[in-house]
Amino acid sequence: MSPLLLRGARLPDEGVRDVLVSTDSGLVARVAPPGLLPSGPDELDLTGYLLLPAPAEPHAHLDKALTWDLAGALPGDLLSAVTAWRAYAARVTEEDVFQRARRAVDELSANGVTAVRTHVDLLRDDGGYGGDPLRGLRALLRLRRQLRGRVRLQIAVLHVDAPDELLHEALDLGADLLGDCPHLSADPAASVERTLRIASEHQVGVDLHADESLDPGAGDLRLLTRAVLERGFVSGVTASHCVSLGVVEPAEVARTAKEVAAAGIGVVTLPLTNLYLQGRDRPSSTPRGLTALRALLDAGVTVAAGGDNIRDPFNPVGRADPLETASLLVTAGHLTPDEALRAVTGGARAVLGLPAAGPYEGAVADLLAVRAQTVSEVLGASCPERLVFAGGRLVSRTSVVREIF
**Angle at 39 (CA atoms; ends 38, 42), nearest 5 degrees:** 135
Write the binding mask 28 to 67 for Zn ion: x where contact by CB under 5 A, - elsewhere.
----------------------------------------
Shortest reach from residue 179's CB to Zn ion, in Å: 8
Nearer to Zn ion, 23 or 195 (CB): 195
| 35 φ/ψ sector (left φ>0, alpha ψ -120 to 50, else beta) | left
Pairing of the two strands 43-45 and 115-121: unpaired
Site for Zn ion in 291-330 (CB under 5 A): 308
Spell out the alpha helix ranges (H) of 147-187: 164-173
Task: Give which of 208, 234, 202 is closest to 222, Cα–Cα.
Answer: 208
Output the residue with the shortest Cβ distance to Zn ion: 308
28 membership: H or E segment, kind and range: strand 28-32
Number of residues that bind Zn ion (CB under 5 A): 1
Nearer to Zn ion, 210 or 330 (CB): 210
Task: Give which of 357, 356, 358, 361 is closest to 32, Cα–Cα.
Answer: 361
Shortest reach from residue 320's CB to Zn ion, in Å: 14
Determine phi and psi for 270, rounding to 5 degrees: -135, 75
Cβ neighbours for 221, distance < 8 A, ≥ 6 positions apart: 210, 211, 239, 242, 244, 245, 256, 260
Site for Zn ion in 339-378 (CB under 5 A): none
Shortest reach from residue 209's CB to Zn ion, in Å: 5
Nearer to Zn ion, 255 or 280 (CB): 280
Shortest reach from residue 121's CB to Zn ion, in Å: 10
Neighbours of 82 (CB within 10 A): 17
Shortest reach from residue 23's CB to Zn ion, in Å: 34
Nearer to Zn ion, 236 or 391 (CB): 236
Nearer to Zn ion, 137 or 369 (CB): 137
Nearer to Zn ion, 308 or 324 (CB): 308
Shortest reach from residue 158's CB to Zn ion, in Å: 7
The footprint of Zn ion (CB under 5 A) covers 308
